[in-house]
Structure 1
Amino acid sequence: MKSTGKKKILVFIDWYLPGYKAGGPVRSMANMTGHLSGDFDFYIVTRNTEYGETAPYTDTMPDSWNDLMPGVKVCYASEDQSSLSVWKHLI
């Protein structure tokens, strides 16, 4: 990943965009990244499914970094890649 000189923030959150069914936490994180991505690089690790659903998102690449917008990269973890050892590697 190309370094931009900005501080990096790693976030683990159960659900994130393009999801919306989890409500407030998704909107709060989306608003925070939207407002602060000019000053910080956000790396978000989340599930690759919507809240309450079992089918994975079809418009994201699972288990790799997806550029959501400038300054925001999202890793949509599949169920088999949601483990402590994987998260330790990401950290």
Structure 2
Amino acid sequence: MASNPYSHDFNTAIKLAEASLNRNHTTKMFFMGNGLFSILRDEIKNLNEKGLKVYYCAHNAEQRKVKPESWAESSSMYGLAKLITEADKVIMLS
């Protein structure tokens, strides 16, 4: 997710992740750009506690001085490319 945490995309992402987790799908979210600020919201932490796997671009986090919680996994654009190739379905919200 690259949108800021107060965009319509954030609410859409939350609803999609909840629906996916409720259907027992392996669900992963990758945060980059201004979307990194979303990782600080309680909604993401709550979804992580329900099984959402959370990744973020470490370079973008450093640029924005965002320090994600330990439950979020530091990654890179290469990591994102790998997640995409391993996924059955990919939804990009920008």
TM-score, normalised on structure 2? 0.47
More helix by share: 2
Q: Which has the higher contact order (CA 8 A, sep 6+)?
A: 2
Larger radius of gyration: 1
TM-score by length of 1: 0.48
